[in-house]
Homo-oligomer: A and B are copies of this chain.
Amino acid sequence: MRAAIFCGPRSIEVGDRPDPVIHEPTDAIVRVVLGCVCGSDLWYYRGESPHSVGPIGHEFIGVVEELGADVDGIAKGELVIAPFLYGDGTCPNCRNGSIITCVAGGSFGNGEIDGGQGEAVRVPLAGSTLVRVPGSGHSEEMLRSLLTLSDVMCTGHHAAVSAGVATGDVVAVVGDGAVGLSAVLASARLGAGRIIALSRNPKREKMAQQFGATDIVEERGEAANEAVLEVTGGVGVDAALECVGTGQSMATAFAIARPGSTLGVVGVPHGVEVPFGDMFFRNVGWRGGPASARMYIPELLDDVLDGTINPGRVFDYETDLDGIPDAYAAMDERRAIKSLVRVGSI
């Protein structure tokens, strides 16, 4: 099969990989229909995080092609969403909702297991990992939104859930990438009364507004803090959602959080120093990390299928397998919010 291969920083090639086969009776082989590039993929693309040479991509939807003998609940030919991590669903961490720390779990596109930026993937623990999409004949727009449930929409939702966003809350979203935009949409879905999006990119500002942002703050650094505090009458926001992971974005999130609130943190941290003393004396807490997407997919899927939310709008760039190198470059250069990769058809 053909797949994108990470060869080193800024070096992605599309080449041949062995067709994946069933190793364990709990495996499934999924033929990829749509994949995409994650903001977190940019860390290794830029050489800022290590990544083994090999297959890549952890977000995809596809069609079940083969099933191990012990896989229940899904059938060949069904359309499925793959959460970006697989898990057994039964270990103490999974049962506690923290599927991302499943003792038997792992990730896709990590050098050992093929990724969603290729034609097919062996999915371990498929019965507890893959989520079947009901119905058929889904529109192109619907498929794009279904793809976001693999990671980005669940990650934005996790930011909002971690911060405890509730009806009427004033929320600020730091980061106007696809995760930040998804966090805006998730906050609106959870009933936030006011959503402040920090962005200085007209296209992203517009999308944030389409997703429910009521206020845009274009300032950065100290000026951004002051602008958000002004919007909130000097109090700070009920929930600050950190969707970038840099020291600067985290500092902004800390600064604009009202005393007693909890940050929702989903940006993979790079060079972040936590101002522990200040947070302590202001009773500002923090929760988050990688989202247990598998846990969130069912409830978000209902809202996607009935059209309540349309998170697929975050894809503003599209290519096929051969175009994957530029799909990364487009996001790296901020030409694209999020790059979709059309791999196959249903």
Contact = CB atoms under 8 A, between A and B. Distances in A.
Contacts of A277: 269
Contacts of A269: 276-277, 280
A280 B259 contact: no
Contacts of A92: 233, 235, 258
A111 interface: no
Given A98-B259, A259-B100, A282 B289 contact: yes
A272 interface: yes
Nearest to A285: B287
Interface stretch (A19-27, A137-145, A260-268, A312-320): A260-268
A31 B290 CA distance: 54
A51 B213 CA distance: 45
A150 interface: no
A96 interface: yes
Nearest to A295: B260
Contacts of A276: 269, 272-274
A273 B277 CA distance: 10
A101 B262 contact: no
The range of chain A's interface size is 35 or more
Interface in A74-92: 92
B260 A101 contact: yes
A283 B269 CA distance: 12
A44 interface: no
A101 B278 CA distance: 12
B283 A279 contact: no
B289 A93 contact: no
A265 B286 contact: no
Interface string A283-302: 11111111010000000000
A285 B260 contact: no
Interface string A85-122: 00000001100111011000000000000000000000
Contacts of A279: 289
A163 to B, nearest CB: 10
A162 interface: yes
Given A93-B235, A259-B101, A260-B101, A281 B274 contact: no
Contact of A93 (B258, B272, B285, B287): B258
Nearest to A284: B289
Nearest to A263: B285
Interface in A226-267: 233, 235, 258-260, 262, 265
A58 to B, nearest CB: 15
8 contacts: A92-B258, A93-B258, A93-B260, A98-B258, A101-B260, A268-B280, A272-B276, A280-B290
Interface of A: 92-93, 96-98, 100-101, 162, 233, 235, 258-260, 262, 265, 268-269, 272-274, 276-277, 279-290, 292
Given A262-B285, A269-B277, A272-B276, 4 more contacts: A92-B233, A98-B258, A262-B287, A280-B289
